[in-house]
Structure 1
Amino acid sequence: LKELTNPINPLRLLMHIDVQTKYQNAFLRELIEMACEDIKIDDEEILQDLFYKPDSQSFTCFVLFHSSFRTVHIRQYIIDRLLAQSISWEDIGMRWDELLAWRNYTNQQRVVANKVWALIREVSSKQFEIDKLINTENDKMQEKLKIIEIIPSCLDIYCSNAPDKQDYKDLLQNIANSFTEKIVRTVAIPNEIDQFVPIAKRLHPYSKSTVWHLFRQQPLTCK
């Protein structure tokens, strides 16, 4: 029944008749509701079809936007689950893979996603704005990723012989690994790394300077 692109799907046939009768047949609406009662849908499918890989041809998308489903219970269930997810994202934060999914949409997927979350914003009492949330979460992630990027080069260039250099690199690797396992907000920067950040930010621009590297290779002489 979920395969609404299948021309012999009974639910699709009911939808077709519903369109022809301009959605005025109450009995048809009851039949559509009864058909949907046998359909099971979970959070994973909802998020896969409407967030991770938004698909206008998915069952969940049809249910949200086709007029034949505007009064069926399964439509409200999908909306309720998306509302619950939006509240969770606002309260707890988002994962790296969720931010990456949003950033990597195709143009077609972006259109579908914008339509979905515009609907959720309309029905949300908090006027949920996913763009604003994702930008905020992404800024937090980029700030932490920047630390992972700039400190290793500083360790290699300026602390190449330090006995604990590998210990710091291990801490940085642990931070990187945390992004695949945790909510971005909960990825912690250890104090041992945090204390290097101001210095690393000052030195990092020179790490790609050929002139600076040549200068450092020159023997120092005292007169």
Structure 2
Amino acid sequence: ENPLYHLINIDKQIQGKSKLINDLIQLTANKIQFNVDEILRDTFERPTRTTCIYAILFEDCFKSSRLRQIIIDQLLALWNTWEEKGFRASQILGWKKFSNEERQIVYRIWNYIGETAKKQYQIDALIDRQRREMDEKIQIKERITKCLDTYCQNAFDKQLYLELLSEMETKLQSDIVRSITIPNQIKLFLPLVDRLTSLEKLNAWETFLAQTQKRSQNNSPTTTDIHPSDIIDGESLLSDNSMYIVVVYKFIDFIKYLFCLK
């Protein structure tokens, strides 16, 4: 057992009435050093109630400890960094996987720091803002990917856009969330994707897409009409509004499909 924990338990048993025990605790604590990575790990990335840092922050015997103030100062510096630059994507992803117990530990530690520093909001508000920003970027990536796979199978530069999305995916695993930008080439797709998202809510449209995709996979078209794949085969996705042409032809086929249902 850690000698410091042993001293803490003795101090609790005698209700802090021994100056000798208290002096030994302070002497031991003054020999402990933590780096920023250790503090971040124990207070946010892998929080537990059994760490030395947790004990130093909340055990009464450390109220006047110099080490407690050092830890508070380092935690406050981390908070200020998060305010200025934001969280890393890996930290937000880890937060999403936390158990309720782990979140309660984070809340206790960081809300204590917030109260000490007289912050105007609690730590969960800061986390939630970053989480929403990250979720929005993830949704954009997923929507664009779906659009490319559904409507642009044969565009010669489709791979270029998939690579841009792949780079975005990598950044959404580890980079600072605020630093992750949507490439301009990808942004150009968003207005069209928004329209398609509304259209895809129709059950008939979903059925139509499923059938056309199945025909495409089987490489056995049932009509000699011009199809979207013919329109952009060998064309850039964004040249001459080709994606809009694709959707027009898709929609024409969709109307034909509806008439066939009647």
Same fold (TM over 0.5): yes
Provide the residue aligned with 1:184 in structure 2: 177
Per-residue deviation, 1:212: 1.5
Which of the numbers 73, 78, 97 marks the counterpart of 1:80? 73
Output aligned runs, 1:137-152, within 5 Å: 137-152=130-145
Provide the residue aligned with 1:160 in structure 2: 153
1:209 to 1:160, Cα distance in 2 relative to 1, 3 A = farther
Which of the numbers 95, 103, 108 marks the counterpart of 1:102? 95
Per-residue deviation, 1:14: 2.8
Per-residue deviation, residues 90-133 of structure 1 (Å, max 9, x unmatched): 00011111112222221221221111112111111333521111
TM-score (norm 2): 0.74
Per-residue deviation, 1:209: 5.7
* Residues in 2 aligned to 1:64 and 1:214: alpha-carbon distance in whole angstroms: 59
* Residues in 2 aligned to 1:195 and 1:117: alpha-carbon distance in whole angstroms: 40
Instruction: Check whether the contact 1:154–1:207 (CA below 8 A) recurs between aligned residues.
Output: no
Provide the residue aligned with 2:119 in structure 1: 126
Runs of 4+ in structure 1 off by over 6 angstroms are none
What residue identity is the alignment partner of 1:171? Answer: L
Q: Alpha carbon RMSD of aligned pairs, Å?
A: 2.2
1:66 aligns with 2:97: no
Provide the residue aligned with 2:86 in structure 1: 93
Which of the numbers 48, 65, 69 marks the counterpart of 1:55? 48
More off after superposition, 175-184 vs 91-100:
175-184
Q: How many residues align structurally?
A: 214
* Residues in 2 aligned to 1:128 and 1:43: alpha-carbon distance in whole angstroms: 23
What residue identity is the alignment partner of 1:157? Answer: T
What residue identity is the alignment partner of 2:146? Answer: S
Which of the numbers 184, 197, 210 marks the counterpart of 2:190? 197
Per-residue deviation, 1:53: 1.5
Per-residue deviation, 1:193: 0.4
What residue identity is the alignment partner of 1:50? Answer: T
1:13 to 1:174, Cα distance in 2 relative to 1, 3 A = closer
Q: Percent identity?
A: 36
Instruction: Check whether the contact 2:133–2:177 (CA below 8 A) recurs between aligned residues.
Output: yes
Per-residue deviation, 1:42: 1.5
Per-residue deviation, 1:180: 2.5
Q: Rg bigger for which structure?
A: 2
Provide the residue aligned with 2:239 in structure 1: none
1:39 aligns with 2:16: no
